Amino acid sequence: MATLRWNLINDLADAYKIQVFSGGACNIRNDEGKLLRNVERDDINDWLTSHNVIFHDPQIHPDTHGTEYTYELHHPLEIAAREAAHISLFEISPRTFGGVTSMEIALEEFAAQQPTIIFFSDGDNDIDVIPAHSKNGYPLFAPYGIKTSESARRAHYAEMIKNANRMRRYMLRFAEDLHALTVSFGQETFDGDVVITPQRIHAADMFEAVTNAAAGRRVVVNFTGGDKARDKNGTPIFIAPEYPNPVDLRMLLDQYIDEGNALRHRICDLVRINVYVRVVYTQRTAIQALEDLMRIKGIVV
Residue 211 has pLDDT above 50, yes or no: yes
| % of the chain residues with pLDDT over 70 | 96
Least-confidence region, from 10-19, 257-266, 278-287: 10-19
Task: With beta carbons less than 8 A apart as the criterion, state whether 293 and 234 touch.
Answer: no
Residue 43 has pLDDT above 90, yes or no: yes
- 236: number of CA atoms within 13 Å, CB side? 28
Compute the C-alpha angle 176/19/277, nearest 5°. Answer: 70
Residue 190 has pLDDT above 90, yes or no: yes
Residue 275 has pLDDT above 60, yes or no: yes
**What confidence tier does 1 reach under pLDDT thresholds 50, 70, 90?**
very low
Q: Among 102, 88, 113, 84, which Cα is nearest to 216's?
A: 113
Task: With beta carbons less than 8 A apart as the criterion, state whether 116 and 276 touch.
Answer: yes
> 192 Cβ partners below 8 Å, 6+ apart?
220
pLDDT of residue 2: 45
Residue 37 has pLDDT above 50, yes or no: yes
Q: Would you give the DSSP letter of residue 236? A: B
Residue 23 has pLDDT above 80, yes or no: yes
pLDDT (tens digit, 9 = 90+) per residue, 3-18?
Answer: 568 888 888 999 999 9
As a whole number, the mean pLDDT across the chain is 91
Amino acid at 65: H
- Four-residue CA torsion sign, 266, 169, 39, 60: positive
Query: H or E stretch including 88?
Result: strand 87-92
**What confidence tier does 213 reach under pLDDT thresholds 50, 70, 90?**
very high
Helices (H), the chain: 42-50, 62-65, 71-84, 99-106, 150-177, 203-214, 246-270, 283-296
pLDDT (tens digit, 9 = 90+) per residue, 52-86?
Answer: 999 999 887 777 777 766 767 778 888 899 899 99
> Could you give the CA distance from residue 202 to residue 165 in angstroms, rounded to a whole number?
11
Burial 59-82 (b: 16+ CB within 10 A, else e): bbbeebbbeeeeeeebeebbebbb
pLDDT (tens digit, 9 = 90+) per residue, 99-139?
Answer: 999 998 988 777 667 899 999 999 987 899 999 999 999 99
pLDDT of residue 225: 96
- Four-residue CA torsion sign, 243, 245, 248, 251: positive
> 223 Cβ partners below 8 Å, 6+ apart?
168, 183, 184, 185, 196, 198, 229, 230, 236
pLDDT of residue 112: 66
